[in-house]
Structure 1
Amino acid sequence: MEITDIKFRRTEAYGRLKALVSVTFDNTFAVHDIKIIDGQDRLFLAMPSRRMPDGRYRDIAHPVGNALRDELEHRVLDAYRASFPQ
């Protein structure tokens, strides 16, 4: 599976949320509302989620293995830094 497009919806300074991202895989499947979060020691991705009746959040879509998660985070954050230099 190849990441073929990354699009940012930049947010205003809204706490730790830096941007919302849409990622397209193989020009055929898109995942929207991936969040770039400013963590205590680094930026990281939070996958789209839904609040459950008990108040917890559960991912709607997410990588199953670490290899895809690492590649996705690396590619998205590199593109973010290139598009929005600090």
Structure 2
Amino acid sequence: MAAKKQAAPAKEQKQKNPSIQVRIDRLNDYEGSSVKAFASANIGGAFAIHGIRVVDSQKGLFVSMPQNSYKDGNGNTKYSDIFHAITAEARNELNEKVTEAYEQALQEQQQQDETEAESESQDMAPSM
């Protein structure tokens, strides 16, 4: 009779999260809209996520994953995420990266607005 192979003892392996790069595709400054920006993420150079939203709610900013909507049996609209992180650690890292990219895009937009305003004021100044 052939001897069965015994499973090797499980070694504790610390799972390494892949690198995440995020870019803000568009800042949304429509009055009354709770969606402040749309973002995309690249995970480990292997996966891309488009349609991530930065939403401003009564509780503050949060990151909303891309979703599909559907009607349930009672006619109520329901939403299900197309993509979501499996672990809390991965979710927190993705949320942090999206929030950081959003804040950086806001700062760049404000600096650009200030530069344009200064340029306009210099153009309107009387020349001597």
The aligned length equals 86
Out of 89, 94, 97, the residue aligned to residue 67 of structure 1 is 89
Which amino acid letter does the alignment assign opposite residue 29 of structure 2? E
TM-score (structure 2 length as normaliser): 0.61
Match of 1:77 in 2: 99
TM-score (structure 1 length as normaliser): 0.88
Q: Share of identical aligned residues, percent? A: 31
Q: Choose between structure 1 and 2: higher helix proportion.
A: 2
Shift of 1:75: 1.1
- Is 1:38 matched up with 2:56? yes
Shift of 1:39: 1.6
Shift of 1:15: 1.2
Match of 1:11 in 2: 28
Q: Choose between structure 1 and 2: higher strand proportion.
A: 1
Gaps (5+ residues) in structure 1? none
Q: Which has the larger radius of gyration?
A: 2
> Which of structure 1's runs of 4+ aligned residues deviate more than 3 A?
none
Q: Distance in 2 between matches of 1:40 and 1:53?
A: 26
Q: Which moved more, 1:10-19 or 1:26-35?
A: 10-19
Match of 2:38 in 1: 20
Q: Distance in 2 between matches of 1:40 and 1:5?
A: 25
Q: Which moved more, 1:55-64 or 1:12-21?
A: 12-21
Shift of 1:10: 1.8
Which amino acid letter does the alignment assign opposite residue 84 of structure 1? L
